[in-house]
Each structure stands twice: as structure tokens, then as C-alpha cells.
Structure 1
Amino acid sequence: MSIELKALVDKANDRIIFAECDEDLADVLFSFLTMPIGTIVRLTNNRPPITAIGCMNNLYASVENLDVKRFRTEACKTMLLRPKNGSATQYKDLKLKIDSEIPKYFFCGKLKNDGETPEYLLGLQSDCIAYDWRKLDRIAYECKLLSQYVGSYCDCGNAMNSSAIVDTIGSKDSIDGTAFAKEFTRFVISDELQVMPSSAAASFSLISKLGIMDMSSTEERVFNIGYDEVLNLLKSLFVSKFPLTETFLRPKELPDFSKETFQASSIIKHQLIRENARQENVKICARLLLSKSKKRVCYAEVGDDFVDLLFSFLTIPLGFIMKEMNGAHSKGCINYLYKSIMDLDSEKYFKTNGHKEILLSPKIAPDFGYENQLLGVKEVAHQLCYQKQTYFNDVGWKIGISLDKPTSNTSIALRVKHPKSTYKSGKTGGGFVMGPAVFTVTDDLIVTPISQFSGLSVLNKLNIPFNDIEELNVHVGNEEASRLLVASFMSESALTETFLQKKIK
């Protein structure tokens, strides 16, 4: 699958002046804002050179390196390394996907006989074929629980390892064949990924902005956009001010994000100017080890609640971080894309006003929130699931489920088990890591279980003598959590930027 892009190229300077596209490519660009940071890190890590996104790569690597026993459940680690998209219902309608994971559901396999089906059918093996298919619909799934993660434990105590057959995937949620933009809309895209309604005024403005007076120095070119090009656009979103040019004309010249100098503290200061601050509730404590001479955080000793907050950053959609930045400029050109969506008329260019809101303030996927989550990000509710049929194939019993409500009165409603809850715990509001526990967190957010040797190693690496160290106890509330999120995204010294910049000034 590919999408066609027509562009006007400045031949003399080898750059794209602007491009024109329909709703298909606009949807792909818009969808970047719904992607969780953990997904972006995973996708960009697979395509060298690695794009460093503040401290987020270190957080992702910390989750990878942390023993699974440190997490509340095995699913918790998977949730952080492969976070689900809270806008999956819209994402599935994209014409071109770079993260096309198909939703999966698992069940424990405990079936209930209706009294009419012979008992031997419930224990059938793959080589048994002597049974009445007409009776299979009378075999119900007794526990009525599903899991989106293999290996979770059902309330009955059995592992949920049997995969369900998903008959439909929310087809009734699609008004038309697009994800966010209205059908038959056309857009002009600047080299900085500003998306504007297609008009002569928009194209003339972009031409004059570059000082081009003679159109003979330009030419029209058509590019076919596939998986590789979309992934390069995503990467260049964080590192380049000219992603179209560098994706289609100079694909081997993506700049190095880490070499660009940027004062993250100015972003954080701008971010604090808010009309409606979230109401303060719970505060998290952290003990910082500082260098007095360098005025920086060397490392911190924190509890599991602080680590839950840090790891949750991987589940946060890019658009939510842009919202928290409150209009401030960032590296790359993400702010241009975000602002252009703000400026587009909802009624003319989006399927509904709600679809525009999904992009400007995206939610996290179901079950990814937890109690006392300080960021204030909202969570999408689970789609309703229904058992339609029972199957038997070469690997054993399976149930067929639908994410659209069947018309049959015999359909059975199923619920999705919370992946963070253990067998029969009944607790669904916890975070990702097992507590109580203490961890060491470096300034660039490398998280490891507490060890005095790791602390000493950090001091040695930074060449900081013991007599230059002082301690500072800090508390993290809503404001600090938001600042820490933005600092983790923008800076490679997240703790210093969050807790010391105001103090130093």
C-alpha cells in the first residue's frame, strides 16, 4: 500500500516548497499525535540511526532491562514496551500504518456444558472429528473474561493462553473510510509539516516565503509514500525543521537530535503559564543527590510510585505532551503539526469535532491509567465484547467474539480483565512496578533497583567528589509531574531541569 504525494520542488536549492495531498496522507500525519511515546521509541529504535527523544529512550531501555519480577504482572512490562494506542478505533482506518498490530484477545478455555452437548466434546483433542457442529453454539465460555495479554491469569486460576477469534473489529465505529479527516478534503503541507486547507493563497504564501520569484526554477514531482517514508517522516518530526525535504530528497541526511542545543528550561517555564491548573492531591517523595558546584542532580533515590510515574511516560500520546507544553516551541517540527491541527476548521476538515479533539488531547488506552496518576491524562473505556460462537479446530477449542453487539439474543457479554491485577487480587488501580521498592534514577532517567554501588558509579562517571554532594528532598505533585514529563521529552537532564532550574534562578 502506498500514498501518492505531489510536491513543488525548488531545483536550485534541492528542497520541497510545499506538497499537496488528500485525506489519506493527512490522516497518517495526524495519527503521529495519537502514538504513545513508547511506540515511537520502539519504531525509531528499529531504524538506525537511533533518534534520541530526550530521556525517553533511557526509560524504554530501563523497562527492557528490569527483571519481569519487578513488575506487578508480566503484562505490565509488555504494556510499557508495546503500549496500546488509545485511538485504536480511528488508527485502524488509516490507509498506511507503521504500527499495525492487530488486537488480540485470550481466554482461559474453561467451557460450560449446556446439558445437551456430550461431555466428551469438552475434552476433544485435535484428532477427534466425531461431534455434532450444530451443538457447538450451546457451549458457553463459563468465566466470561478476556485478556489482551497472553499469560494473564483468569479469576478461576487458569492461564489465559487460548486465543479468541475476533470476527469484527469495531466496524460500526467507522462513519466512512477515513480516520480523522473528512473524505475528499485536500491539504497543502509545508516543508515544516504545517497542514493547511488547499488553496492558491496557501501555496503562493509558501512560495513567496522562500523568496522564489521565477517559477522556471521549480518543478512538480510525484512521490510514492510507503512504510519506509512514513517511518522517516516520524523520525524527522523530532530532529528536523524540514522533514519533507529530508525524507524525499535527502533521505540519508537526517540530523542528529542529540547534537542540537536546546534550552529545555525555557520550555518548562513557558509550560507553567496555565489558566486552569489541575487540583493538587497526592504528592510523591524523592531524595535527590546534588552536585553543589555543578548545580545539577547526580541521581535520585525514589520509591515505586515515582518509577510508576516515569514509566507511565512511555504510555502517553505525543499529542498530550504537546498540549502540556502549552504552545512552546520544541525540537524538530512537532509544534507546527500540532498548531496546524488547532487552526483547521473542525466542521470543514474533520469527520467530527470529537476527532479533532482526539488529536489535540489524546487519551491513553484502557487499563493504562492508575490511582493517583498525577498527569491528569484521561483513559479510553474498553470496547464491549460479546461471545458469538464456539469453534473447534486443529489446536483445540476457541471462542468467537465480536466487538460490535450481535443481533442475536443468545450472545454473551464478556469483560476484559485488568492486566495489572493478579489472580483473584481484585485490585485494579495499581501502577506498573511491584512495591514497596526503592530505585536509583539518574539525571537522564536510567532506572535501576537501589544499589549503593550504582550510586557510586554515577558519581565516579561524573567526576564528582564526596565533599561536593548535598541532599535535597523534593515532593512531586501535579505541577512537578507535568514539568517532569516535558523535561523527559525535551532534555537529557530531566531531573535537573525539573527540580533545580527554578531553584537556581
Structure 2
Amino acid sequence: MENMIRLKALVDKWSDKIIFIESSNAFIDVLLSFLTIPLGTIIKLGREHSAPVEIGCMNNLYSSVEEIDVSELRSDACKEMLLLPHNAAESHCKNLVLQIDHNAKPTRYFGCSYCLKSATRKFFTYYPVNTSACGACGFYTHEEITFSVDVASAFVKERARLLITDDLQLISPCCTSIVSLFTNLGVYRNSTEELNLNIGVDEVMSILISSLVSKTPLTETLLKRKPVAKLSIENNYQAIHIDPQTVGETVLTEEDNISIKLMTSKSKNIVCYAEAGEDFVNLLFSFLTLPLGFVAKQIQDGSLKGCIDQLHRSVQNLDAQYLKSNHHKEMLLNPKLAPGFCYNSPLGIEEATYYYLNSRLTTDSSLISSDTPSESFKIEPIDNNSSARGFLKGPASFTVADNLVIRPISAIFQLSILDKLNVPLTDIEKRVVLMGKKEALRLLVVSFVCDSALTNIFIREPKQNKSPKQEQG
């Protein structure tokens, strides 16, 4: 029988909405795990779901990777890395009561038995035995290694109890919090009723998808069961603001930026398509490997159509008595890429660090004795399996449509785009723009929430942004 979690909900009878759900650690851990899931995995799971969601341009990016010829990629593994990206927090999520990606094969790790015991620098690989040579001694990686896993709970303490509001805020079950919630919602106690709910994998997947498009994902999933809407804020992009703390004041030289050639329509004031090198397409493809929490972290004003950013902020405000440790809080607030999935992009996201301790892998450096350097336990992916140089072979040129459909450079594809947009060749104007960290982060957010990413970044960008350098064509 399928695993189920039993929940108790308080519902406002007048509005037929969930006020909050009372939950133990099992369901809280499932919700928090959303922040660790890579975007590519969400696209894959959404396709398998009964009501898949259109997540801005992300579906087009995913399809572009599916259709690209493997000869364009650095290795066969690169395609799998993008379509089935690893979750850096997989070891914490593998024992969740409800596994939304239950059909996925668990990640396997292999190391050189000699170097694991004696070498000061240790390496691992995700790939089959006898195909990858150890980066330290050159011998094949024969020994399978596994993670240490706490089976009791993933992120919150085993006996933690919290209230989960309809917009995925996690709040303390104290009287003050409840009074404040009732006041803010305009709810009266005599209009409420209790419901007992049993939820399984299907409901959890619906909550995840609904959290991207709705401020009331619990009501939409557990009471109304409405079809999932499209994630799009096409006319509201200027309300989205990137958190300045995540951008910083890094100054990039022209050589550090990515150059992109835009083909715009003078009459429609839109980007029809871009011509770009593999550096820009590497950046776009890398979006699929990013954990959902990294995107939520970039939004500072709660203006997303959904409420996944609300869940992220709840973790930030959550009292230390509920989370297992500061390490677990950091995994949720600043989720990282799995080792070997990061390349030199302007986004600034880091890879998780794995340690080999007591014949097991762990991500928690606090388990290492304070009198021993943590570096001596660090274990790294074998260099030749890393995406540090990007996923694509170079040099190469690509056509990138406004909705981020990507193809190797093709005049036929470009003409088909112009035909669909009803833009004549005489209406085309060429612009050359440079993309640094701020633009890359904004492009990530826009790609997540609307289906005309290039236009919203370079044509309809907020007024405070500088105008792109323009070259008349």
C-alpha cells in the first residue's frame, strides 16, 4: 500500500479555504525538500503528473536539451546531468515518508579503495566501475561508497510540530501565532471546522506544482483540486526584484561578460531571437541543474504568482528549536549544486562539499573533529566528469528564441521564428548586449516566471537598469 501522511486541517467554512494544517515532522520535511529539488527534476516530474505546469521557459529549455544532438555536448554524461540532475541533498531526502521522485534510481558513488584509505586527496565518480580512473593514482574506481543517513528525520527535529498556512508559511503552534493568523485572514473561530486528511505522493506533487502558480496551494490541492494554471507574470515582471545581497558589487570586465547578439523587431519592440555562443547556452542549460530554493532566494518582495518564496522565507525565520542544526538550515536557505554540476558561470552558485568520514559520505563538516582539518576529509568528483568547462563543446553558435527554445545556429529556424511572429526581415534591428552576474540572475528569475525571457530582460527591463550597448545592423 502506498505510504500516506495523516494531517489535521482547520478550514474556513465560509470561504472553503484551508487556514492551516497541523503537522508533525514527516510532512514538514516533505515540504522543505521542495527547496532542494533541481528545476530539471521538477520539469520531468511535472510531465508525469496528471496536470503538468508550464514553468515559464523552463519546459522549452528541457525540451531543447532532449533534442540536442549528443555530438554538441562534451560527453554523453552531460545530457543526463541536465535531464536528470542530482540533488545535493539527496541523502537527506531519500528516507522521506513520501518520495515524489520514487521511480528515480538512487545516485551511486564510486571511489578508489587505495586512495580512500591512504591518500590526502580523495576522488569519487558517479559513473560505472572500471570506466573512470582515480584522479590521484590513476587506478580504476572499484569501491562503492554510501552516505550516512539519519533515518529519523530530514531537516526538522523528530518531534517538531508546526502549523503550515495555505501559502506555505511555517509558524509556531502557539496562541499568539494563531490569533495573528486569524486577524490577518479576517477569519472567525465559529466559522471553522476540522478535517482529517490523508495525503500521498500524488497530493504532494500537486502541492509542489501549485506552489509555483498559486498563493493557496493547500486549498487548491486538498479541497478544490482545480487544474494547475500556467506560471506566467508576463505583464508583472517589473514587480520582480532581485535580492541585492545575492548580486553584490562584483565588477566584471568586458572579457568576463557573455556577449549576445539580439535580433529585435523595431515595430513590435520585442526580441525575436538571439545568436550566441556556447557560453550563453551553457548558462541557460545550467538553469535546469539549479535547486528550486536558489530561485526562491533571488526574490525579495513576494511578487511571484506562487508562494515557494514564502516557504524559503519561513525557513529563514524559523526558530532554531525546530531545525536539526544550522547545517540543515543552510542546506535549505542556500541550496547548492551536487559536486561536478557547477561550471564557471556568472550565477555565483556553489557546489556542495562532500566529506569521506568513517567510510561514509557526509555533507556536514561539523561531524569532523575540531582538531582535524576538514580538507583532509574532502572528497571531490573526478575532473574528467566535471562540467566546470560547461556542457557544450566549443566554439559553437546557437539560435535562442525569445521563449528559450534553443537550436544549433540555423537560418531556417530563424526564418521560421520570424514567420510565427509575423516580423518581416526589413523590420529587424541588431543589438549586441553583455551579460554579467546581475543580468544572469534576473534572466534566471524571468525564465522561471514568463515565456518571453529575452524581451523582458533586454527590452522591457526595469528603468533603473542600464541600457544595453546597441549596434545598428
Which TM class, normalised by the smaller chain length? 0.7 to 0.9
| Partner of residue 47, structure 1 | 49
What CA deviation, in whole Å up to 9, does each residue of 1:258-316 have, x standing for no partner?
57655123314x55687833443511111000011111100000000110000000111
CA distance in 2, matches of 1:70, 1:153: 22
CA distance in 1, matches of 2:247, 2:259: 26
- Tell me by how many angstroms 1:12 deviates: 3.7
Flag the 1:236–1:275 CA change in 2: closer, same or farther, 3 A.
closer
Normalised to the residue count of structure 2, the TM-score between the two structures is: 0.84
| Partner of residue 132, structure 2 | 154
What CA deviation, in whole Å up to 9, does each residue of 1:334-378 have, x standing for no partner?
122122222112x2221112221221111111001113x110001
CA contact (8 A) 1:233 1:243 kept: yes
| Partner of residue 467, structure 2 | none
Report the AA paired with residue 321 of structure 1: V
CA distance in 2, matches of 1:278, 1:327: 23
| Partner of residue 498, structure 1 | 457
Flag the 1:36–1:330 CA change in 2: closer, same or farther, 3 A.
same
CA contact (8 A) 2:36 2:291 kept: yes
| Partner of residue 96, structure 1 | 98
Flag the 1:336–1:151 CA change in 2: closer, same or farther, 3 A.
same
Query: In the TM superposition, what are the counterparts of 1:228-307 in structure 2 within 5 Å?
Result: 228-251=202-225, 253-258=226-231, 262-268=235-241, 271=243, 276-280=248-252, 282-307=256-281
Deviation larger for 327-336 or 180-189: 327-336
CA contact (8 A) 1:191 1:244 kept: yes
Question: Could you say what the CA RMSD is over the residues aligned between the two structures, in angstroms?
Answer: 3.2
Alignment pair present for 1:29 and 2:31: yes
| Partner of residue 335, structure 1 | 309
Secondary structure of the corresponding residue to residue 177 of structure 2:
helix
What CA deviation, in whole Å up to 9, does each residue of 1:10-51 have, x standing for no partner?
234322121111122111111111111111111111113320
- Give the counterpart of 1:222 among 179, 196, 211: 196
- Tell me by how many angstroms 1:433 deviates: 0.9
Q: How many residues align?
A: 436
CA contact (8 A) 2:6 2:197 kept: yes
Deviation larger for 489-498 or 271-280: 271-280
Flag the 1:151–1:286 CA change in 2: closer, same or farther, 3 A.
farther
CA contact (8 A) 2:133 2:140 kept: no
Flag the 1:152–1:314 CA change in 2: closer, same or farther, 3 A.
farther
| Partner of residue 319, structure 1 | 293
Secondary structure of the corresponding residue to residue 183 of structure 1:
coil
| Partner of residue 170, structure 1 | 148
CA contact (8 A) 1:370 1:429 kept: yes
Q: Which runs of 5+ in 2 are unaligned?
A: 115-121, 368-377, 465-473
Normalised to the residue count of structure 1, the TM-score between the two structures is: 0.79
What CA deviation, in whole Å up to 9, does each residue of 1:371-391 have, x standing for no partner?
3x11000111244399xxxxx
CA contact (8 A) 1:96 1:227 kept: yes
- Give the counterpart of 1:453 among 403, 412, 432: 412
Query: In the TM superposition, what are the counterparts of 1:117-128 in structure 2 within 5 Å?
Result: none
Flag the 1:463–1:104 CA change in 2: closer, same or farther, 3 A.
same
Structure showing greater radius of gyration is 1
- Give the counterpart of 2:349 among 353, 370, 377: 377
- Tell me by how many angstroms 1:7 deviates: 0.4
| Partner of residue 18, structure 1 | 20
- Tell me by how many angstroms 1:415 deviates: 6.5
CA contact (8 A) 2:132 2:140 kept: no
Q: Which runs of 5+ in 1 are unaligned?
A: 113-143, 387-400, 406-412, 422-427
What CA deviation, in whole Å up to 9, does each residue of 1:99-147 have, x standing for no partner?
2441224689xx99xxxxxxxxxxxxxxxxxxxxxxxxxxxxxxx9753
Report the AA paired with residue 335 of structure 2: P
Report the AA paired with residue 147 of structure 1: T
Query: In the TM superposition, what are the counterparts of 1:72-151 in structure 2 within 5 Å?
Result: 72-100=74-102, 101-105=105-109, 147-150=125-128
Report the AA paired with residue 170 of structure 1: S
Alignment pair present for 1:417 and 2:419: no
CA contact (8 A) 1:375 1:482 kept: yes
Deviation larger for 469-478 or 317-326: 317-326
CA contact (8 A) 1:293 1:468 kept: yes
Identity across matched positions, percent: 43
CA contact (8 A) 1:288 1:300 kept: yes
Report the AA paired with residue 289 of structure 1: M
Query: In the TM superposition, what are the counterparts of 1:341-380 in structure 2 within 5 Å?
Result: 341-345=315-319, 347-371=320-344, 373-380=345-352
Secondary structure of the corresponding residue to residue 322 of structure 1:
helix
CA distance in 2, matches of 1:235, 1:374: 28
Flag the 1:150–1:331 CA change in 2: closer, same or farther, 3 A.
farther
What CA deviation, in whole Å up to 9, does each residue of 1:413-452 have, x standing for no partner?
997434646xxxxxx6310011111000000100101000
What CA deviation, in whole Å up to 9, does each residue of 1:463-495 have, x standing for no partner?
001121100011111111111111111221111
- Tell me by how many angstroms 1:241 deviates: 1.4
What CA deviation, in whole Å up to 9, does each residue of 1:34-70 have, x standing for no partner?
1111111111111133201111111011001111111
Alignment pair present for 1:478 and 2:450: no
CA distance in 2, matches of 1:318, 1:465: 39
CA distance in 1, matches of 2:419, 2:280: 25
Secondary structure of the corresponding residue to residue 329 of structure 1:
coil
Secondary structure of the corresponding residue to residue 311 of structure 1:
helix
Report the AA paired with residue 167 of structure 2: E
- Tell me by how many angstroms 1:165 deviates: 5.2
CA distance in 2, matches of 1:187, 1:170: 27
Report the AA paired with residue 107 of structure 2: P
Alignment pair present for 1:443 and 2:408: no
Alignment pair present for 1:70 and 2:72: yes
Secondary structure of the corresponding residue to residue 384 of structure 1:
strand
CA distance in 2, matches of 1:59, 1:304: 14
CA distance in 1, matches of 2:131, 2:194: 58
- Tell me by how many angstroms 1:245 deviates: 1.0
- Tell me by how many angstroms 1:85 deviates: 0.8
CA contact (8 A) 2:246 2:298 kept: no
CA distance in 2, matches of 1:99, 1:495: 32
